[in-house]
């Protein structure tokens, strides 16, 4: 689980973009329309956790590992969660690795 996520918003499921070079890029449900549009148009797609060229796209699958990590944490800590000692883990949106770059670009943009 990505500890640097600062939001409390939870999501229902998450996905992996599988590429022909054996790499995978995790995405959240809200990024799926952008990914599908990029694949359809053939333009590079920028998501929170990476950039990919649709020509390398193979598949979109459910990110079972990320979901399983949450389920295992909740199962292993069920007693502490029930007693109010720990909060139940839920899927949270991925950290945007490009946020800092976007902010710098916005500050330098001509007016």
Predicted confidence pLDDT, tens digits, the chain (111 residues): 344 444 455 668 899 999 999 999 999 999 999 999 999 999 999 999 999 999 999 999 999 999 999 999 999 999 998 999 999 989 999 999 988 887 777 666 555
Query: Can you tell me the distance from the alpha carbon of 14 to that of 8, in angstroms, rounded to the nearest whole number?
Result: 16
Q: Can you give the pLDDT at residue 106?
A: 66
- The pTM (predicted TM-score) of the whole model is 0.76
Comparing C-alpha atoms, which of 94, 73, 66 is closest to residue 9?
Answer: 94
Residue 110 CA from chain centroid, whole number: 31
Q: Can you give the pLDDT at residue 3?
A: 42
């Amino acid at each position: 689980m990505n500890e640097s996520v600062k939001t409390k918003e939870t999501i229902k499921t998450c996905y992996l973009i599988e590429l022909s070079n054996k790499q995978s890029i995790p995405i959240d449900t809200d990024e799926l329309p952008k990914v599908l549009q990029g694949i359809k148009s053939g333009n590079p797609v920028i998501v929170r956790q990476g950039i990919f060229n649709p020509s390398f796209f193979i598949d979109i699958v459910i990110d079972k590992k990320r979901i399983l990590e949450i389920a295992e944490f909740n199962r292993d800590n069920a007693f502490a969660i029930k007693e109010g000692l720990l909060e139940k883990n839920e899927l949270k949106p991925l950290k945007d690795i490009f946020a800092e770059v976007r902010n710098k670009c916005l500050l330098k943009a001509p007016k």
